[in-house]
Chains A and B, each alone.
Chain A
């Protein structure tokens, strides 16, 4: 009776069977992140710039910080933006750090670098991000606990699959669903917007990645994301981005960082 009841509980409760990183079968090692993937994020994706067009497709005027909850210090720094200084300092990639890059007019090329690392390349600014999959509950742990290391435009990203209830493996199992949660830290100070809206090296960039497949076969990758910055933001800047799957890389168009356009 007890065993049967417990079995019912375990098979009904999503927390027991799916949340967090996928677990291995009894006695075996857990599957790799690649093997556990409930959806296939690989391929070429293009940003559809249907929102904030005037702030994403072109460089807005200096001081145009609308929509971003800047602190007074953030606004002061944005008002001091000087692309010539950035160019002279070799900092023309400031708008291509992860939090700004993802809002850019870019294509993504996503591949598995290895069984536990997703590689995200962009043609806009020719950047490369690595999403390193960790155990359940550890996404972002390194950064939030103050791990040290070189600060880079793309920072250090830890990720995990967040599995949806239901689905699974084996005979009779339904399709698996889930999301990626990733947390990026160790960011080199950069811009949230091309016109010098800043984030600092203490910024934390959290993303939830979902994929939706339409009945006509179209696929969309949706990136719900939060930028937290204790210096330059009053409150987390929370937005979503959507990318559409392309059949191949024929429109891939690498362009270098540009501090002005």
Chain B
């Protein structure tokens, strides 16, 4: 009898599983910053468009960018694209909304620098008219393909694509996103299409790890405020005129990269471009900026004694850690 009841219970439990959810995504996730660390940590170099398939229009617009541009009220939220988390250093939180039959009708994502909670509708509702309002989070629908949640996001506002150097995305952007969980790792792939500023889809893949402490996410609002007095009610839009951006060749002079690579020409994304590179590229003589990444920034036990890093003009990283290391071996000469 007990066995029958157990079977009945298990059966009812199984029947109550939402058929549309292959993998539980609910939880907090921390991004693993082992790729594009400079962009996602301290921020991109100005004029670093490497890895981007930009159109001439996109490149021209990006080169108008100055670091003061985001200080204008109208542009303070431009970085906060729906999938900006791919380029940010902080975490996100995912949860589901269910109907009264416990069927998932939407997945919700809240995270660092999102302008609004991202809602991925799973209830089959149609996409709005192309003329419908674009919003900070856009409009997203999702469907399960096996254990991968595939998402399409449209109706977005004009934004910047990557972090801190003005690569533009238009409100005609469409994102295709694949979210796959393997154990505690969450892989997110975004395929961004933009008929104005990109010449081909921009594909990025990142890994996140489940954070059992649940303290990721939040900060889903962009507040605007005057930051620079001279911009207040003055109508000034900080910019460089075409052809006058002094950082347009920053990557070329700093890392010996050719223009096509530094300024985001699509051909530079593919292996055959190395034929071009081979005849013209020489590695920089030494690593002068952002070299160590993890070692001293974290100050973990085992951080390298006697070795030091240059954090790109920001000064020595974590001098307290270094001085403690220096006590042990008596030397901690900064690398120049």
Contact of B51 among A51, A179, A240 (CB under 8 A): A51
Q: Which of B244-267 contact A (CB under 8 A)?
A: 255, 257, 261
B15 at the interface (CB under 8 A from A): yes
Binary interface encoding of chain B residues 228-258 relative to chain A, with 1 for a CB under 8 A from any of its CBs, else 0: 0000000000000000000000000001010
B34 proximity list for chain A (CB < 8 A): 67-69, 237-239
Contact A210 B185 (CB under 8 A): no
Contact A220 B146 (CB under 8 A): no
Min CB–CB distance B209 → chain A (angstroms): 7
Min CB–CB distance A191 → chain B (angstroms): 14
B3 at the interface (CB under 8 A from A): yes
Contact B277 A58 (CB under 8 A): yes
A57 proximity list for chain B (CB < 8 A): 261, 268, 273-274, 277
Tally of contact residues, A, Cβ under 8 A: 77
Q: Which of A1-28 contact B (CB under 8 A)?
A: 1-2, 4-6, 8-9, 12-14
Contact A67 B302 (CB under 8 A): no
Min CB–CB distance A207 → chain B (angstroms): 10
B221 at the interface (CB under 8 A from A): no
Contact B203 A72 (CB under 8 A): no
Contact B3 A66 (CB under 8 A): no
Q: Which of A222-244 contact B (CB under 8 A)?
A: 222, 224, 226, 234, 237-242, 244
Contact B14 A224 (CB under 8 A): no
B7 proximity list for chain A (CB < 8 A): 1-2, 5-6, 9
Known contacts A63-B335, A164-B146; A14/B22 CB under 8 A:
yes
Min CB–CB distance B110 → chain A (angstroms): 22
Contact of A208 among B13, B182, B268, B273 (CB under 8 A): B182
How long is the Cα–Cα vector from A48 to B190 in the complex, in angstroms? 13
Min CB–CB distance B172 → chain A (angstroms): 16
How long is the Cα–Cα vector from A9 to B191 in the complex, in angstroms? 37
B103 at the interface (CB under 8 A from A): no
Min CB–CB distance A164 → chain B (angstroms): 3
Contact A50 B203 (CB under 8 A): yes
B185 proximity list for chain A (CB < 8 A): 208, 224, 226, 238
Contact A46 B270 (CB under 8 A): yes
Contact A179 B35 (CB under 8 A): no
Contact B291 A50 (CB under 8 A): no
Min CB–CB distance B33 → chain A (angstroms): 7
B220 at the interface (CB under 8 A from A): no
A50 proximity list for chain B (CB < 8 A): 51-53, 202-204, 269
A189 at the interface (CB under 8 A from B): no
Binary interface encoding of chain A residues 104-126 relative to chain B, with 1 for a CB under 8 A from any of its CBs, else 0: 01110000000000000001100
Contact A2 B205 (CB under 8 A): no
B189 at the interface (CB under 8 A from A): yes
A142 at the interface (CB under 8 A from B): no
Q: Which of B281-296 contact A (CB under 8 A)?
A: 281, 283-288, 290-295
Contact A48 B203 (CB under 8 A): yes
A259 at the interface (CB under 8 A from B): no
How long is the Cα–Cα vector from A238 to B207 in the complex, in angstroms? 7
Binary interface encoding of chain A residues 42-77 relative to chain B, with 1 for a CB under 8 A from any of its CBs, else 0: 000011111111100111111111111111100110
B11 at the interface (CB under 8 A from A): yes
Binary interface encoding of chain A residues 127-168 relative to chain B, with 1 for a CB under 8 A from any of its CBs, else 0: 000000000000000000000000000000000001011110
Contact B189 A212 (CB under 8 A): yes
16 examples of A-B residue contacts, CB within 8 angstroms: A2-B3, A5-B11, A8-B11, A9-B13, A48-B269, A49-B270, A50-B203, A58-B257, A58-B277, A70-B294, A72-B302, A123-B271, A164-B146, A177-B146, A178-B146, A244-B203
User: What 4 A-B pairs have minimum CB-CB distances, sorted nearest first?
Assistant: A177-B146, A164-B146, A5-B11, A66-B293
Interface residues of A (CB under 8 A from B): 1-2, 4-6, 8-9, 12-14, 38, 46-54, 57-72, 75-76, 79, 105-107, 123-124, 162, 164-167, 175-179, 181, 195, 208, 210, 212, 214-215, 218, 220, 222, 224, 226, 234, 237-242, 244, 251, 253, 261
Beyond the given pairs A212-B145, A238-B185, A261-B274, 9 more chain A to chain B contacts, judged by CB atoms under 8 angstroms and listed by A's residue number, are A51-B35, A53-B261, A61-B286, A63-B286, A67-B34, A75-B304, A105-B273, A214-B176, A240-B207
